[in-house]
Amino acid sequence: MNEKALLENKNRVGDLLSSPLGVLVLAASIIEASGPLPDMPWIDHLGAYPADDIACCLQALSTREVGNGSFDLLSAEDCSELIARCEADLSPYYEGYPQQAETLLAAGSALRSFAEYLLQTSGTASWFADLDHQHQEWMACTDLAPEASCFHPDFRCLGAGLTKPRRSFWTSTSVGECSSSWLHFIRWGEDRVFWEPPYRRWRLEVLPTARVYEVHGPQAWQSLCLTYPAPSCAPYPICRPDTLIEPDWQAVAQDWDGVHLSVGGLLTAERVRWGRPGAQTHLYGWGAESTLWLRWVFARAQRLPDAKER
């Protein structure tokens, strides 16, 4: 790596270890790559357990050996499903979440060497990549194809701390030939109760002229909020909403066609408070690598094979 790449990787490692979700995904990756811990049969759903259990697990993981190639067997699809599982397990609505988050962040420094190797493996190569214009997927419960006539966004804030508009159009980047981050999120996340398989999939080609704002970390999210600020709408379960700002989506739409949250952005910015009091930001509720579209900027749509339940 050159000096610029080394600094970039160092910053990404730091952001990952400053996020409860990022540390949990790192821990789950270590377990997936090197095997479960003895006497911890519940470890596949570590994020669903109390802080004391998480602390015991993280301490044991920190003593494992790590080296170049430690995570080579983890494919991009393995990582995508693992992230969806961790996102679903680590619920901020659980009463013990503040203690869980504190425990995960406290363990971050002890797992730094693992994070450095994880971000160098092929399975994570696209985590901080800009939008792939050729491989955006949209899913639905019906056979109706996506088209411009169906695009009727509502840019008002969704509220309840969910930092996205009430209604828009979303895509997620393909992971391999048969999956996407969105598909894994639907299979594992809380929204699965609203979806019935098979899942209808379409691939959309984004116009090369599309203006896409990239979010690869909490700094980029804060910059978006500072440029187009709106008061935060009751970010339950986060206290003191008056100290937070979020995007004014109507204003964002004047300058941008879409906002892309990369995998790296999700792992380092979701549920992370960033910035000084009065101008802090807190991305919440996106759930997966995805792009929020504020304008119809697609050249064509192609039907893909349906996806079934896992």
CA distance 37 to 46: 11
pLDDT over threshold 80, residue 74: yes
Could you report the per-residue pLDDT of 170-187, keeping only the tens digit for each?
999 999 888 899 999 888
**pLDDT, position 234:** 56
Could you report the per-residue pLDDT of 231-250, keeping only the tens digit for each?
887 555 555 556 789 999 99
Any idea what the Cα angle at residue 111 is, between residues 105 and 117, rounded to 5°?
Answer: 130
pLDDT over threshold 90, residue 143: no
Percent of the chain with pLDDT over 70: 94
CA distance 166 to 168: 7
Could you report the per-residue pLDDT of 43-52, keeping only the tens digit for each?
778 999 999 9
How does the average pLDDT of the chain come out, rounded? 90
**pLDDT, position 192:** 65
163 contacts: CB under 8 Å, gap ≥ 6: 232, 235, 246, 247, 282, 283, 284, 285, 286
pLDDT over threshold 90, residue 228: yes
Phi and psi torsions of 131, nearest 5°: -55, 135
**pLDDT, position 1:** 64
pLDDT over threshold 90, residue 37: no
Who wins on pLDDT, 176 or 18? 18
Number of H helices, E strands in the chain: 10, 14
* DSSP character string of 75-142: -HHHHHHHHHHHHHHS-TTSTTHHHHHHHHHHHGGGGHHHHHHHTTSGGGTTTTPPP-TT-EEEEESS
For residue 7, how many C-alpha atoms fall within 13 Å in the half-sphere facing its CB?
A: 3
Could you report the per-residue pLDDT of 79-125, keeping only the tens digit for each?
999 999 999 999 988 999 999 999 999 999 999 999 999 999 999 99
Question: What global pTM score does this model have?
Answer: 0.94
CA distance 194 to 199: 11
Who wins on pLDDT, 234 or 76? 76
